[in-house]
Amino acid sequence: MNPGELLLTAVRAFAVYALMLVVIRALGKRTVGNFATFDLLVALMLGEVVDEIIYGDVGFLQGVVAITVIAVAQAGNSWLTWWGHGFDTLLEGSPTVIVRNGKLQQGGMKSERMNAKEVMGHLRSQGIQDLREVKLALVEDDGSVSVVRKGWAEPARKVDIDDDAAAERRADIGEQEEPGPDDRTDAPRWLK
């Protein structure tokens, strides 16, 4: 390679870097945080397009058009998911129950291609040593496992032992011990 081609590659790399920085900032934190399915797809596609632009296999303007189209598609996907009306489930899926009331859910484990050893590893990573402590464990849309413990298995909180904290809690939420159905995170309507 002659020095002119190397300089051109360097200039392309810098220009693509600047463009990608703007695109990633515009798409938001989810693009680089825990990947949902479409986020991973976008990251892979953008990586391939960037590679082609940097090495000159695709013209810079063509690459900019491709990156813009991918960004618009991702923004459209995010908007449809936010809007709801079934698009969120269609485009991003829904959490899968793998443990309910201390019992492994074979159907959910099978659909997520997880065995009992993997499920137990995820539970241990969250400080759970006994499956009977788990009210609900789900594989979330981004592949992470979230766990809701049974009431008796919850760790003690400051509000449990401090009168001032208990008074502050009552001032914030009133006397209602259990959250209403719209405020719960452990049993959305689609899981019942």
pLDDT digits (tens, 9 = 90+) for 16-59: 766 876 776 676 544 445 566 567 667 878 888 888 888 888 88
Q: What is the pLDDT of residue 82?
A: 79
User: Strand, helix or coil at 104?
Assistant: strand
- Looking at 59, 90, 121, the residue that finishes a domain is 90
Task: Report pTM.
Answer: 0.57
Domains: count for the chain: 2
Domain that holds residue 60: 3-90
pLDDT of residue 30: 47
CA distances from 6 to 9, 12, 82, 156 (A): 5, 10, 44, 62
Instruction: Name the β-bridge partners of 147.
Output: 137
112's enclosing H/E stretch is none
pLDDT of residue 28: 55
Least confident of 74-78, 88-92, 153-157: 88-92
CATH number, residue 118:
3.30.240.20
Domain boundary among 34, 58, 90: 90
Q: Report the side by side order of strands in the sheet with 134-139.
A: 103-104, 96-100, 134-139, 145-149
Flag whether pLDDT at 87 surpasses 80.
no
Lowest mean pLDDT among 30-39, 54-63, 98-107, 137-146: 30-39
> Which residue, of 71, 90, 109, is where some domain finishes?
90
For 161-190, how does the pLDDT look when each residue is reduced to its tens digit (9 = 90+)? 888 888 888 888 877 766 666 666 665 554
